[in-house]
Amino acid sequence: MEPATPTTDAASVVLSVRGMSVRAGGVPLLDGVTFDLRRGEIVALVGPSGCGKSTLLRAVSGLSDASGGEVLLGGRAGSDADQPEFRRAMPLLAQTPVMLPGTVRENLARPFAYAAARREFPAERAVALLDRLHVGGERLDQAAETLSVGQQQRVALVRALLLEPRALLLDEPTSALDRAAAESVETVLREEADAGRIAALVVTHDAAQAERLADRTIDLGSALHAD
């Protein structure tokens, strides 16, 4: 894989992945992946199917075990941090969105009902994001299960953005979207990053999307992997 871009300002580094390796049944899926993600930066993970892009996201998020390496979020290892807090600070959005029973509002507000939440549900920002993503703020009181998969995908993105994460992990965030909806997602992600509100690690099979959206790319196709 391409070498990690040298970091010139350590204070700007949000996420550091060092020597990440993943094996399954003794077979190496990833070997020694190293990179930094800086505040306000979007990095695209590219490469052919089976090269380990989604595997890397899950290992970075802590949802699957790595055989070696270290993940530092804001300089702290996930193993040393409170896990609920760690996951709120670095949410993973899978290709298949997860909606809980209830309305869109209830889905968006649920993370703010937990003890770990330090503020109230920001309803106005939720509406603004739904509008920017072409879902529509008027859908707040609609049952989430009645939304299309593409709408659910964007609601899941709104839920993650409302948490004000330090790093956002996105696995094919526009896979279920038509061109106009996909463009709205790219625009919002780029605007949020440019405003310094997020840093994002994005898996995409679309080379043109990586070119449009990302500040740089990491090609896992040249890393050690197995299909």
Task: Flag the least confident range among 35-39, 56-60, 72-76.
Answer: 72-76
Instruction: Indicate the domain borders of the chain.
Output: 1-91+166-227, 96-164
How far is CA 225 from its chain centroid?
A: 22
State mean pLDDT over 113-123: 82
This model's pTM is above 0.75: yes
111 C-beta neighbours (distance < 10 Å), count:
17
Q: Please tell me the CATH code under which domain 96-164 is placed.
A: 3.40.50.300
Say whether domain 1-91+166-227 belongs to CATH 3.40.50.300.
Answer: yes
Q: Is the pLDDT of residue 39 over 70?
A: yes
How much is the pLDDT for 5? 44
- Average the pLDDT over 101-123 and give the result: 89
94-107: pLDDT as tens digits: 989 999 999 999 99
* Predicted confidence band of residue 2 (pLDDT cuts 50, 70, 90): very low
Is there a common fold for 1-91+166-227 and 96-164? yes
**Residue 133 pLDDT:** 98
Give Cα 94 to chain centroid, integer Å. 8
- pLDDT at residue 21 greater than cutoff 80: yes
d(CA 4, CA 223): 13
Residue whose pair of structure tokens reads 């997020």 in the numeric block:
198
How many residues are recorded in the chain? 227
> If you average pLDDT over every residue of the chain, what do you get?
88
pLDDT for 51: 84
Range 33-49 average pLDDT: 94
